[in-house]
Amino acid sequence: MMGLDTNILVRYITQDDPQQCAKVNALFDKQISQENSAVISKIVLSELTWVLSHAYGYSREQIALVIQQIIITQEFVIEDSESAIKALQDYQTGKAGFADYFLARTHLAMGAKHTVSFDKKALQNNLFQPVE
């Protein structure tokens, strides 16, 4: 099993750098399988959504499709996949970022009643509460 950094997933998804993409494509083809899974952490999923949105101009819909595909790919082991799935559902219907929903779902899974935030978009979801 190996862990994947955000930049590896970005190269694989965007295919934007011929030299690096060739290496990443070979890695995915030859070294990653159901028997030799790749680990994707919460941090990597969160960073990935930010990079795709801010650096590559991906829409929310495109990002949601990418995250969904990552989650369902059997060769990947997703840290806290249950929270990731719920965060994706929140992201698809809400206004806040995927990372916001992922952290709120993580906090909920850890026993928190809600996540306190100043983020106005996040506060539109009952996972979040304003500071009072």
What confidence tier does 33 reach under pLDDT thresholds 50, 70, 90? confident
Pairing of strands 76-78, 115-117: unpaired
Q: Which pLDDT tens digit goes with each residue over 89-108?
A: 999 999 999 999 999 999 99
| Residue 128 DSSP SS3 | strand
Q: H or E stretch including 52?
A: helix 42-54
Q: H or E stretch including 106?
A: helix 98-109
What confidence tier does 132 reach under pLDDT thresholds 50, 70, 90? confident
First-residue to last-residue Cα distance in the chain: 45
Q: Which pLDDT tens digit goes with each residue over 39-74?
A: 999 999 999 999 999 999 999 999 999 999 999 999
Are the beta carbons of 125 and 90 closer than 8 angstroms?
A: yes
Q: Is the pLDDT of residue 120 over 90?
A: yes
